[in-house]
Amino acid sequence: MKDTKNMLRIVGIILLGIFALVVVTPLVLKAVGIVVLTAIGLAILLIKLGVVVAVGYLILVGVRAVLR
């Protein structure tokens, strides 16, 4: 009887682990995807900002050169 209880406990723990793996894995992957997409979006935004600042600087330097 005691062996049966231990066996059922082990089977229950294994089933709980499989259930947690099946439920948690997609959530973790979705969270990682959101983080990666956010990081890529921020990187693209930073590149665009850098280009705008560089173009603005070139325009400013060009105007300054023309006025001299």
The CA–CA distances, whole Å, from 42 to 31, 32, 37 equal: 16, 15, 9
pLDDT at residue 62, as a whole number: 95
Q: 3 is written with which tokens?
A: 């062996």
Closest CA relative to residue 9, chosen from 25, 24, 17: 17
pTM summary value: 0.59
Percent of the chain residues past pLDDT 70, beyond the cut:
100
Q: With bands split at pLDDT 50, 70 and 90, how would you rate the model's confidence at 61?
A: very high
